[in-house]
A and B are shown apart, each in its own frame.
Chain A
């Protein structure tokens, strides 16, 4: 007698196994000869340069709104002078990396999922495979590396613009010199605020690229699958960003702050 497990139980296990194989294949192909340098640079341009506008505006508004919202409350406690420090720490440590990663999950993971999904549907991936080219190396490795490298850079850019937004908002509520604002922002920032925050963005970038590629590369045949792959890529990548952030915060608490 064979025991058949319900599909709701076996499907997540199968999916986890599939993802593990995909991850193994990524690492194997990354270190294989014939690395696609030109395509990686092209993907960095697509992922990084073409996201600057969205990420920049988001970062600026983030700092701007955070400052505007904080000033009245801080005023009640007579602590307006702490606003630049508070905005800097919260943006650089937590809000900046997470919000930008979620924005990137929406823009980049969906775009990769849809692109590879449509290539799958139109047999382009099979065509590469059957002609003896390596689609994993050309399509997947390049995109994951581009995301891993570009998301941290985009986050740093957004953090900088968030501080600028904070300064603009501080000038609306009351006049503050730019040098003074940044001086107050940076004096309270420690090395342990900046480094773990930047390190975790590499993992966010990797997760965004990996999920986007996995969902697109393994999409079903049929035009509907392209939309489903894009949607699944955004949902899974966003979820993974949150999960990785929770893990990163715990690790940072233990290793950086010793608590």
Chain B
């Protein structure tokens, strides 16, 4: 029940959310995974919104243009502090005009929904960039191809009228780091309950040892890699001698 202990609101019977596994272990054979969230709400008319975001990075989109006959990365737009993974599930549509009032403001402030996310980001761009939407689209498209941003929100599946479950897809090329799962309950147009769970995507086993050595003892790591390469080269020469 580690998820319940990290919540920012007291766990209560009106709204409970549990992340099945707070760690995604990435080993050599990692081929993608899922984030499973179970929950329960007492008010059958309430809406549930759950958002998952990965670690933040500054992401830049460059637009190529021809300069003296050569295609060069000419114009850019940088989105600061952007989650490298972003997905959400909701029982009501967030994009568009479905939500009003207090709930909408809260959701926007928490960056739930793509419109809200982009509206909240600080950006930097080349002075001649006029159409920011083109860059946003390009960014979304690249992120979708990586499998870390999604066309459509995930589904909130109801197992009974109270109990629900959401499955978020994590692609094979997921990046490591601290992910956050925000869960909200919306009643009568206002957000009444809120919970944040932490999830860690980390490399384990051989991968973890490699990364820690490469980061902390880079020169020794490099020397080991060199000797490995030398060994393979030497071994190949031995094998070649045989007719």
Asked whether A and B interact, the reply is no
